[in-house]
Chains A and B, each alone.
Chain A
Amino acid sequence: MTSSPKVDAVELEIIKASLDGIVQEMQNSLFRTGYSTIVRESQDASCAIMNAAGDVVAQHVVLPLHIGSFPACCQAVLREYDDIAEGDAFLINHPYEGGSPHAPDMCVLTPVFANGELIAFCASIAHKSDIGGPVPGSCSGQAKETFNEGLHLPAVRYQRAFERNTEIERIIACNSRTPVLVLGDIRGQLGSSRLGEQRLGELVRKFGKDKALTSFERLLDLARIRMKAAIAEWNDGRYEAERFVDDDGVRLNQPVRIHVIVEKRGDEIVFDFTGSDDQTQGPANIRPPLVQAAIAYCLIALVDPHIFINSGLMRAFSVKTREGSVMNPRFPAPVNTYNPTVHATVEAVFAALVNIVPSKARADGCGSRSIILGGRSTKAGQSYVQYEILGGGGGARASKDGASGTSVNQSNAKIAPIEIIESEFPTRVLRFELIPDSGGAGAFRGGLGIRREYVNLQDARFSIRSTKHIIAPNGAAGGGTGRTGDIVVNPGREDEKRLPTRYADYPLKAADTFNLDTPGGGGLGHALARDPQRVADDVNEGYVTLEAATTSYGVALVRTGRKFEVEPAGTEQLRARLKAAHAS
């Protein structure tokens, strides 16, 4: 507890609701004025208000990972500058100096003053369309150093006395394939920050500096206390779990291990990742701010998805990582494809915590993936980049099947409409459906993965950054694994070719087809314990095949009209036989 004076409960709530409104307003402003579709449509951007030490006091949640990045970026500014003044603005996108997940995630920070005293920062992080490096979009799955991942800015002063430093802008412009979009987005971020600064100033003038600052501290404290109180109610214990990423993109077929030991005693909880693999050659590494954010993501999910989110939550747990490991790599290890590792981290943490909070058990999901097709359109004669982000099956949950065809964990992108894709790019979609039997079998079934099949109408360069093509999503509590993902060019033809999980710049020819299967979610509980009626329903809905109903679930079905119904005696026999086979 802090020793700060007791804050009036009414004013605290008013300040909290106002902060909520301010970050929402900053976010709206950013979405509205952003130049690139990445900011405006994919909404790959977050806004936050921090105190003078860089703790996030309030954040509008679009992307959960940024909760860890903001403080690290702010601390870099505080380390670098001792003359921060009103009218300043700072830029940073350096994963090592600051806390950006990777170079395209640019952070803009502006300080907020009250009576000459630095009291807060307003900030935003937004993904940039291109910040240089060997491939468009700056994220090469084959990068071996951060030097292959685009332009890196340490904390730099972008504005002084509200005047932009045009030299920095010129450096950025020279290093991006899309300078107009990047500078436009940065200025949009600056506008959003200034708006937050202005509204925060009004709030501080209304309640007085001391009351406002005490409220900030109280809100941080409340978040910590709430989290601690929930943790205290869990069973004590020491649990470990591990998950694997297919490979790092450079050393193929070499899985990357993420390992965690969770020790929970009273209201203390420690996450120890020191047993994770050494840092990777390829870009599968993540920096500690992301590890912290991944843990916070899990704890929020387990404690209360509606909790007021700020850095106070981070004070409720501690983390250990080993320098030189995949969770705490040494500069200049590459980091650009961080998402598969974060998914694996989230899943390892959930798997360990499930022992402590069994009511919130959950199997693993599909992770996330993007495909990029690039080329020069013969129609318009212009270069184009077709960028799609796809989900798949969610893991089964205690008391519920997993969701199908969804984004999971910290990822949350919308799928691209087929009618837009075909209208804009030389591609035709041949198939878009869920994959039967791709959900892991279990008392509760995993969600189904997505199948999209395309025919390429013109030569193009193809890249994919996926996960779980080799290592399947885990089931939980005896549930089966989800089906792995797959990417095959020209399936069924003589020149059929399976690509690795991460691959950059494959040359597709006109009339080549490719099929992308995304993974299904893992199942939860034993498949033979699944309510036979639900298996029949799944068969009737086409989520499970008749064959899998028999072999995986031990359910005998008979056809009545168009529908299958459970045949109880046959089911009993089948299940007895399957159980005996398992036992032997």
Chain B
Amino acid sequence: MAHYRLTVDTGGTFSDFVYVNDDTREVSIAKIPSTPDDPSRAILAGVEELIAKGVTPDEIGFFCHGTTVGTNALLEGKGVRTGLLVTKGFRGIYEVGEQSRPHGPAIFDIMYDKPAMLAPPSRTGEVVERVSFEGEVLLPLDEDALRQTLRELREEDVQSIAICFLFSFLAPQHEQRAREIVEEEIPGCGVSISSEIVPQIREYYRLSTTVINAYLQPILARYIANLDQRLKDAGVTTRQKYIMQSNGGMATFEATAKKAVATVLSGPAGGITASVYACRTTGFQNLITFDMGGTSCDVALIKDGQPSIANRGKVEGRDVALPMIEINTVSAGGGTLAHVDRFGELIVGPQSAGAQPGPACYGRGGTQPTITDCNLVLGYLSPNNFLGGKMRLDAQASQDAINNAVAKPLDMQAQDAAEGVVRIINVKMQEAIKAISTMRGHDLRDFMLLAFGGAGPLHAGPIAAELGMAGVIVPLYPGVYSAMGLVMSDVKHDYVRSRLTALSRADEGDVNAVLEELASQARKDLAEEGFSHDKAEIEYALDMRYAGQGYEITLPCNAPLAPGGLAQLRSAFDEEHRKMFGHTAPQEPVEIISYRVRGIGRVPPVELPKFAPTGAPLAGAIREMRIARFNGASVECPVYQRELLDVGAVFSGPAIVDQLDCTSVIPPGQHVRVDEYRNMIITIGAA
């Protein structure tokens, strides 16, 4: 019996599939149109595609899914009717939020409003109870009053309730008891309590995260149950069924159904996981990931093989206080529009032609030029080999659109205009990369640019050169890279607990006790999910700060701490503070704010196939010669077919490389080598 891994990343237009045969290491991919009304239909189609190749359903031993069901429900306001319980007198926490507006245009925008509340005041109940900052109960929970409040909420047809009381991260018993009472008074209603979702100090962020979970949890639970049933019906019975989370790790179906909020920023996580794997196969430990699609471009930094993680982020203005891979997004994609305004200024973005009407060359009614139209006019894209020839591009339409909107108003030739537009969009993406790298003290000369997404490999070459980076990597399947990452993930659960601890007044035993409590929870959860002791790993970290500072630094540590461990932590904190902020205050007291544990369930690592050279000549991979535009000059250059490039092939730009899911542009002065995993490793400068 063979062993297969199947992963699927559901996108807006396509669902991307990767199939890996664990025994032969053979990898294949598929792109199937998504079915947004019920994404599991497309998933089943992808399962059937594998079965059609002669694989039996019970040979599928691993399934991982990247889903935007939660994210979309949040963006479209299609979560369930949600209620909220707060400590009496404290409705303002959710109503006021951060109070401030985001930096930039919102400060000037009279019409700016923060996102609407997911649980309005009419579905918010106040609960008599109060806990002090030391975790002591100042006012016991008034259960009778709570029951009365819940009877009123029941009439509001509430399907899910978030509970967030002050200081519940120190004393969760009121929230826990309130949950029991909810279950008695409103049977079948979902309940999310903040002391479980994120037992962390700062009430607004904890509340916001808990409310989002309550709002999405029933939807995700339903979706997963439905998907699970469909998979079972299809004969896929493996226990190893996972969903990708925002932290770059997977969670089981069961765990995800409880903690839906952990998926809302999971979109880019697959690509980053694949990139971390690429560190291993290519040997480059420092990467900037560059994922450019139709409307936006996501960039992230991987240093020493580790992506950078943030402990808090925003989804469309809503606050989520959970660990997530740190991504910088800029409005720049194939569909980004260009035009000259009435003042003669050439405006590129942020508006996008989107999927409809799309670029002019798609022939769907678009008349405004986009980045894709520019790439076509410059000779980078092939009119008759786009998506493997499935879609013809109308070069004349691109030319006309560029002429009308850009070239004529600026008295330029269409190709010069197209090149100018591409230079401008490239600068915007370069600035986005600088924001996560040089602006944080990293030297880009030590980094490779890892390009994926439909448009990443088209733009990566000039961007890496402009930024003075070490080079570019184009992986074998850049168009389904997120699904690729799902094959390579581990299970990751994050646990946090806030406990303000003055370092000078604590001993190692105190700190170990809290960490061990979290770790035993992590071990228990992993064991329940079927991870044996040797497959379960625990990582520890502490959020620390100089007393009175408004923010914390997350410092990894080894637990249990040995005697003298706190003193070591103290100097490690000073050193980390120096690295991040340029200075330290060794005479100032330091405190621990939060304790963090990550439980990792190791999934047997996938081994991507290595290939041996076949000896096929390079010339045999040339599909055609084409005139393309580089630095103001038209040059005839070869167009290679990626699938035909042999391992070890070496060639230099100018060149274009076409493949089913993507096109790569190799500018003059850049040199390609195809490695044994069939990645293209591109270096810049002297060959």
Find chain B residues with CB under 8 A from A391 CB.
99
Whether B99 contacts A406 by the Cβ 8 Å rule is: yes
- On whether A420 and B108 interact (CB within 8 A), knowing A61-B103, A542-B122, the answer reads no
- On whether A403 and B114 interact (CB within 8 A), knowing A422-B132, A422-B133, the answer reads yes
- On whether A25 and B132 interact (CB within 8 A), knowing A301-B108, A407-B100, the answer reads no
Does residue A156 face the partner (Cβ distance < 8 Å to B)? no
Does residue A405 face the partner (Cβ distance < 8 Å to B)? yes
State which residues 448-479 of B face A: CB under 8 Å: none
Find chain A residues with CB under 8 A from B344 CB.
9
Does residue A305 face the partner (Cβ distance < 8 Å to B)? yes
Whether B420 contacts A305 by the Cβ 8 Å rule is: no
Find chain A residues with CB under 8 A from B112 CB.
403
Whether A64 contacts B99 by the Cβ 8 Å rule is: no
State which residues 557-604 of B face A: CB under 8 Å: 580-583, 585
What is the bound-complex CA distance between A82 and B166, given in angstroms? 60
State which residues 138-194 of A face B: CB under 8 Å: 180, 184, 188, 191
Does residue B73 face the partner (Cβ distance < 8 Å to A)? no
Find chain A residues with CB under 8 A from B133 CB.
419, 422-423
- On whether A431 and B90 interact (CB within 8 A), knowing A10-B346, A229-B343, the answer reads yes
Closest B residue to A218 by beta carbon equals B345
Does residue A545 face the partner (Cβ distance < 8 Å to B)? no
Known contacts A306-B105, A541-B121, then 4 further A-B pairs from the complex at CB < 8 Å, ordered by chain A residue: A17-B428, A61-B104, A431-B89, A432-B92
What is the bound-complex CA distance between A391 and B583, given in angstroms? 33
Does residue B355 face the partner (Cβ distance < 8 Å to A)? no
15 A-B pairs with C-beta separation under 8 A:
A9-B420, A21-B435, A60-B103, A184-B583, A404-B95, A404-B96, A405-B95, A412-B101, A414-B100, A433-B95, A434-B96, A451-B92, A452-B92, A541-B120, A562-B152
| Size bin of chain B's contact surface | 35 or more
Whether B345 contacts A13 by the Cβ 8 Å rule is: yes
Of the 9-residue stretches A29-37, A239-247, A326-334, A335-343, which lies at the interface with chain B?
Answer: A29-37
Does residue B549 face the partner (Cβ distance < 8 Å to A)? yes
What is the bound-complex CA distance between A21 and B114, given in angstroms? 26
- On whether A300 and B583 interact (CB within 8 A), knowing A28-B435, A424-B548, the answer reads no
Does residue B58 face the partner (Cβ distance < 8 Å to A)? no
Partner of A417, one of B121, B155, B204, B583: B204
What is the bound-complex CA distance between A350 and B549, given in angstroms? 38
- On whether A542 and B121 interact (CB within 8 A), knowing A13-B346, A13-B424, A21-B431, the answer reads yes
Does residue B555 face the partner (Cβ distance < 8 Å to A)? no
Does residue A62 face the partner (Cβ distance < 8 Å to B)? yes
Does residue A502 face the partner (Cβ distance < 8 Å to B)? no
Whether A434 contacts B345 by the Cβ 8 Å rule is: no
Find chain B residues with CB under 8 A from A229 CB.
342-343
Find chain B residues with CB under 8 A from A184 CB.
583
Whether A33 contacts B582 by the Cβ 8 Å rule is: yes
Closest A residue to B205 by beta carbon equals A417
State which residues 338-358 of B face A: CB under 8 Å: 340, 342-348
Does residue B423 face the partner (Cβ distance < 8 Å to A)? yes
State which residues 390-409 of A face B: CB under 8 Å: 390-391, 397, 400, 403-407
Does residue B107 face the partner (Cβ distance < 8 Å to A)? yes
Whether A400 contacts B434 by the Cβ 8 Å rule is: no
Whether A432 contacts B201 by the Cβ 8 Å rule is: no
Does residue B156 face the partner (Cβ distance < 8 Å to A)? yes
Partner of A415, one of B90, B99, B113, B343: B99
Find chain B residues with CB under 8 A from A24 CB.
431, 435, 439
What is the bound-complex CA distance between A181 and B685, given in angstroms? 46
Among A306, A384, A433, A542, which residue has the most Cβ atoms of chain B within 10 A? A433
Does residue B410 face the partner (Cβ distance < 8 Å to A)? yes
Does residue A553 face the partner (Cβ distance < 8 Å to B)? no
Whether B427 contacts A29 by the Cβ 8 Å rule is: no
> Number of residue pairs across A and B with beta carbons under 8 Å?
194
What is the bound-complex CA distance between A30 and B138, given in angstroms? 42
Closest A residue to B419 by beta carbon equals A10
Does residue A225 face the partner (Cβ distance < 8 Å to B)? yes
State which residues 622-655 of B face A: CB under 8 Å: none
- On whether A40 and B113 interact (CB within 8 A), knowing A9-B420, A225-B343, A226-B343, the answer reads no
Does residue B234 face the partner (Cβ distance < 8 Å to A)? no
Whether B92 contacts A541 by the Cβ 8 Å rule is: no
Closest B residue to A424 by beta carbon equals B548
Find chain B residues with CB under 8 A from A33 CB.
581-583
- On whether A419 and B99 interact (CB within 8 A), knowing A10-B423, A412-B107, A562-B152, the answer reads no
What is the bound-complex CA distance between A191 and B439, given in angstroms? 12
What is the bound-complex CA distance between A400 and B104, given in angstroms? 22
Does residue B532 face the partner (Cβ distance < 8 Å to A)? no
- On whether A433 and B105 interact (CB within 8 A), knowing A41-B550, A417-B204, the answer reads no
| Distance in Å: Cβ of B92 to nearest Cβ of chain A | 4
Does residue B239 face the partner (Cβ distance < 8 Å to A)? no
- On whether A64 and B551 interact (CB within 8 A), knowing A403-B114, A406-B101, A562-B155, the answer reads no
Whether A420 contacts B201 by the Cβ 8 Å rule is: yes
Nearest 4 A/B pairs, CB to CB: A10-B420, A41-B550, A405-B96, A21-B431
State which residues 419-447 of A face B: CB under 8 Å: 419-420, 422-424, 428, 430-434
State which residues 120-174 of B face A: CB under 8 Å: 120-122, 132-133, 152, 155-156, 166-167
Among B92, B109, B343, which residue has the most Cβ atoms of chain A within 10 A? B92
Does residue B202 face the partner (Cβ distance < 8 Å to A)? yes
Whether A434 contacts B91 by the Cβ 8 Å rule is: yes
Whether A415 contacts B346 by the Cβ 8 Å rule is: no
Does residue B189 face the partner (Cβ distance < 8 Å to A)? no
Among A32, A540, A563, which residue has the most Cβ atoms of chain B within 10 A? A32
State which residues 463-505 of A face B: CB under 8 Å: none
Whether A434 contacts B99 by the Cβ 8 Å rule is: no
Does residue A94 face the partner (Cβ distance < 8 Å to B)? no
Closest B residue to A452 by beta carbon equals B92
Closest B residue to A195 by beta carbon equals B439
Find chain B residues with CB under 8 A from A405 CB.
92, 95-97, 99
- On whether A418 and B201 interact (CB within 8 A), knowing A14-B423, A405-B92, the answer reads no
- On whether A29 and B201 interact (CB within 8 A), knowing A10-B424, A17-B431, A431-B90, the answer reads no
Whether B345 contacts A432 by the Cβ 8 Å rule is: no
Contact flags A4-30 to B (C-beta < 8 A → 1, else 0): 000001101110011011001100110
What is the bound-complex CA distance between A223 and B344, given in angstroms? 12
Find chain A residues with CB under 8 A from B201 CB.
417, 419-420, 423
| Distance in Å: Cβ of B471 to nearest Cβ of chain A | 21
Does residue A126 face the partner (Cβ distance < 8 Å to B)? no
Find chain B residues with CB under 8 A from A403 CB.
112-114
State which residues 343-386 of B face A: CB under 8 Å: 343-348
What is the bound-complex CA distance between A188 and B580, given in angstroms? 13
Find chain B residues with CB under 8 A from A418 CB.
90, 93, 166, 203
Does residue A222 face the partner (Cβ distance < 8 Å to B)? yes
Whether A415 contacts B96 by the Cβ 8 Å rule is: yes
- On whether A18 and B431 interact (CB within 8 A), knowing A13-B346, A184-B583, the answer reads yes
Whether B98 contacts A414 by the Cβ 8 Å rule is: yes
Does residue B106 face the partner (Cβ distance < 8 Å to A)? yes
Whether B98 contacts A305 by the Cβ 8 Å rule is: no
Does residue B606 face the partner (Cβ distance < 8 Å to A)? no
| Distance in Å: Cβ of B112 to nearest Cβ of chain A | 8
Does residue B110 face the partner (Cβ distance < 8 Å to A)? yes
Does residue A362 face the partner (Cβ distance < 8 Å to B)? yes
- On whether A20 and B95 interact (CB within 8 A), knowing A9-B410, A430-B89, A541-B120, the answer reads no
Does residue B438 face the partner (Cβ distance < 8 Å to A)? yes
Whether A301 contacts B95 by the Cβ 8 Å rule is: no
Closest B residue to A350 by beta carbon equals B110
Find chain A residues with CB under 8 A from B421 CB.
10
Does residue B111 face the partner (Cβ distance < 8 Å to A)? yes
What is the bound-complex CA distance between A405 and B101, given in angstroms? 11
Does residue B500 face the partner (Cβ distance < 8 Å to A)? yes
| Distance in Å: Cβ of A251 to nearest Cβ of chain B | 31
Whether B166 contacts A419 by the Cβ 8 Å rule is: yes
What is the bound-complex CA distance between A424 and B502, given in angstroms? 12
What is the bound-complex CA distance between A397 and B132, given in angstroms? 40
